[in-house]
Structure 1
């Protein structure tokens, strides 16, 4: 049973009771009272076990629940409702934006969830169920799960927004090339979150507006509120993405300005020393007839002439407002 993470009764006299044996799990899932089973999606025994034991799950549904690559969506199947969601990755040593896929199958008598990595929202809901304080209907379970996922998303976006605000203040105050890497990292996180939260917003909106017969009016209202929070989250991500693009442009412009200033100074120095270099090169040729070759004062006279030429060049450049 390594592929089975846990299973609980959700309603009836056994509400909150954990199902420890495979026989009890299968019997409860085939009964009329509601049960929740959580499986490891990447375990090699999961798909064969579902095919053999959970005969009420159709092959297309099973394929959607165990697929390696998923995208948030909600679809009504002949055997129930399939909802695929994403939650922020709060596992140690992993990136928050590498969102964890949660696959959910619901029908009036059973709930089956699958994930490849732990999700804190699922753990919290499990603790609530184990204390016999959890949801006791399919719609309430789905709404509770979506609300918990949304709460983690809001916390993550709040922390991300604070980092972007601090970065924005730093860039506006003193843009520097080393800030570019941080801007790129934050922008990549925003893009990764936006990639999953956009479809998740649409899926929750579909459930809230059309929904399913298993969802009561109260459940749909809760889902509508969760959808509104996701709409705001996506809008905030879009705004942060645009702000980070502007910050990158500011850093690039500052770097370009510094480069242009350096090139300008080099050009000025070249303009000053080019005539002086020409004169020293001309007077340094080893040919007969060089003026002042025999005079002890010729070097100092020539040096003074170079100083006069340099000063004259600086005067001309200042008149032209080049310096």
Structure 2
């Protein structure tokens, strides 16, 4: 909705100094205690889990449009080619599946980039084998930055399952602002006078319904994807992580319900405006019909008396005009009485 964009400013300028070259946006090695250390793209490409720190987890966030991403996924992480194509393609419908000990998912979040519409959702692909997590995006996405801020602050996730849970939780929570904005937008429309702003209201309501449908189209499959993660994730995705995902699923379900309510509210307003417009049109047509019904016999009478033929009575009588006027008034009164008794007036 261009009148009040349901979006917040995207902080896409945050990049690590070590990630200025290549596809890397940022990379961290989690220490399993909530903290991390920064790693470069070269170090991330050759990273292996050390025996002295088996709880360490590598998280790499990449721009999937940059060259070399697909090659590293396939050769460096031994990801099958079909999965690499999924992770780097523009087929971004939310989905999730397991591949051996790895979890693969595509998730979508609200587009908070400046000037974006709510339905312009942005995707994030992820692949994780329990010790390495790779997230990929095409357009700027704030969700990974939220989790990164927690990690850099020393209070982040401690394992791969918790890291994925944090990402999904932030992604779903960020949808709340757009839904709240949409509800406030509907409230403001309800406060407008339909008689003065009917066309404007109909145009904005149509936009709201389109936004709701677009959000449902993406969030419905995402709900299914999260349920699959909670149910079929590999063993390294622990029980408490599944519980957290369940809470995120419940929140997403509530957001879907809120979108349904917003859509129904928009439908009710739209139906009311159309009903008012139809009633106004029908009333105008009805009044025109009444006027035509009154003046039709009067028009016939005056037309009959106005024909230019010989023998017309009263041609030489100066009082004939007033007699005709009196006759017309009498006909008008009779018609009004008849219409009143028929309850047409």
Counterpart-to-counterpart distance in 2, 1:3 and 1:298: 100
Structure 1 residues 56 and 314: CA distance shift in structure 2, 3 A: same
Structure 1 residues 226 and 132: CA distance shift in structure 2, 3 A: same
Of residues 88-97 and 173-182 in structure 1, the stretch that sits farther from structure 2 once superposed is: 173-182
Partner of 1:62: 84
How high is the TM-score relative to the length of structure 1?
0.90
How high is the TM-score relative to the length of structure 2?
0.84
**Runs of 5+ unmatched residues, structure 1:** none
Give yes or no for contact 1:88–1:100 (8 Å, CA) kept in 2.
yes
Structure 1 residues 172 and 298: CA distance shift in structure 2, 3 A: closer
Q: Does 1:39 align with 2:62?
A: yes
In the alignment of these two chains, the number of paired residues is 320
Partner of 1:246: 268
1:106-145 map, 5 Å? 106-145=128-167
1:91 is paired with a residue whose SS is: coil
Of 220, 224, 233, which residue of structure 1 is paired with 2:242?
220
2:38 is paired with a residue whose SS is: coil
Partner of 2:112: 90
Of 6, 24, 48, which residue of structure 1 is paired with 2:43?
24
Partner of 1:304: 326
Of residues 159-168 and 81-90 in structure 1, the stretch that sits farther from structure 2 once superposed is: 159-168
Partner of 1:155: 177
Give yes or no for contact 1:177–1:255 (8 Å, CA) kept in 2.
no
Counterpart-to-counterpart distance in 1, 2:232 and 2:218: 21
Deviations 1:17-63 (A, max 9, x none): 3223x3212112x4454211112233455334544x53422112111
Counterpart-to-counterpart distance in 2, 1:217 and 1:14: 19
Give yes or no for contact 1:8–1:16 (8 Å, CA) kept in 2.
yes
**Runs of 5+ unmatched residues, structure 2:** 1-20, 51-55
Counterpart-to-counterpart distance in 1, 2:22 and 2:308: 93
In the TM superposition, what is the alpha-carbon distance from 1:310 to its structure 2 partner? Answer: 1.4
Counterpart-to-counterpart distance in 2, 1:314 and 1:67: 75
Of residues 160-169 and 285-294 in structure 1, the stretch that sits farther from structure 2 once superposed is: 160-169
Give yes or no for contact 2:98–2:232 (8 Å, CA) kept in 1.
no
Counterpart-to-counterpart distance in 2, 1:19 and 1:182: 48
Structure 1 residues 264 and 12: CA distance shift in structure 2, 3 A: closer
Partner of 2:316: 294
Give the structure, 1 or 2, with the largest relative contact order (CA under 8 Å, sep 6 or more).
Answer: 2
Give yes or no for contact 1:175–1:254 (8 Å, CA) kept in 2.
no
How large is the RMSD of aligned CA atoms in angstroms?
2.5
Give yes or no for contact 2:103–2:129 (8 Å, CA) kept in 1.
yes
In the TM superposition, what is the alpha-carbon distance from 1:141 to its structure 2 partner? Answer: 0.5
Partner of 2:342: 320
Give yes or no for contact 1:58–1:79 (8 Å, CA) kept in 2.
no
Give yes or no for contact 2:143–2:167 (8 Å, CA) kept in 1.
yes
Counterpart-to-counterpart distance in 2, 1:3 and 1:244: 43
Of residues 228-237 and 35-44 in structure 1, the stretch that sits farther from structure 2 once superposed is: 35-44
In the TM superposition, what is the alpha-carbon distance from 1:2 to its structure 2 partner? Answer: 4.1
Q: Does 1:275 align with 2:297?
A: yes
In the TM superposition, what is the alpha-carbon distance from 1:222 to its structure 2 partner? Answer: 0.8
Structure 1 residues 38 and 185: CA distance shift in structure 2, 3 A: same
Give yes or no for contact 1:171–1:247 (8 Å, CA) kept in 2.
no
Counterpart-to-counterpart distance in 1, 2:174 and 2:34: 30
Partner of 1:183: 205
Of residues 55-64 and 8-17 in structure 1, the stretch that sits farther from structure 2 once superposed is: 8-17
Counterpart-to-counterpart distance in 1, 2:60 and 2:199: 51
1:246 is paired with a residue whose SS is: helix
In the TM superposition, what is the alpha-carbon distance from 1:208 to its structure 2 partner? Answer: 2.0
